[in-house]
Amino acid sequence: MKREEIRARDTITNEFTSKWKYRYDKEQYGMADAWCIIRSESEDGYFEGDCEDYALSLLWRLCGESDIKMWWMLITRQAGICGVGPSKTKMSHAVLRYKGEYVDNWTRKFGGKDQIEKNHTFHWLYGHGLLHFTVIKMLMSKIVRIVKGIKR
């Protein structure tokens, strides 16, 4: 990426992260796992969600708040939501891969894959940020929220 692109990416990331507040899906949605793009601030002035919400919401902002551009980035594998955890077979956390660099709600800044691997192991299947993984998780979350009557 060019220097201007990196500067713009980091500005968006810093502005978003400064208003980020971690909130468990069970607390927010009443369900164990919900993948959502947090598009607006809460009444307290925060963007609230967990790790995959952070990854999806930041990607959406990096794509100019465009759903079409966000999905294009995922389809063309320029971006991905990668599953990580304590081992290659257990997933407990989500990380954003964007144009070859990684960020999550723990590191809060972009860096190489090795930065994420200090605390996590990329899942053998879901650690690559493949599109089908994100689509399935988002669709399942949406269906459950509709059935439960949960707005957002």
Give the C-alpha distances (Å, rounded to integers) separating 102 from 18, 28, 76, 119.
Answer: 18, 26, 17, 13
Reduce the DSSP state of residue 42 to 3 states and report it.
Answer: coil
pLDDT in tens, 39-93: 999 999 999 999 999 999 999 999 999 999 999 999 999 999 999 999 999 999 9
Domains held by the chain: number: 1
Quote the domain boundaries for residue 133: 3-148
Instruction: Give 27's contacts (C-beta < 8 A, 6+ positions apart).
Output: none
Kindly report, residue by residue over 116-149, the tens digit of the pLDDT.
999 999 999 999 999 989 999 999 999 988 988 8
CA separation for the pair 34, 24 (Å, rounded): 9
| Nearest alpha carbon to residue 28 among 38, 16, 18, 13 | 38
pLDDT band for 152, please (50, 70, 90 cuts).
Answer: low
Q: What is the CATH number of the domain that holds 57?
A: 3.10.620
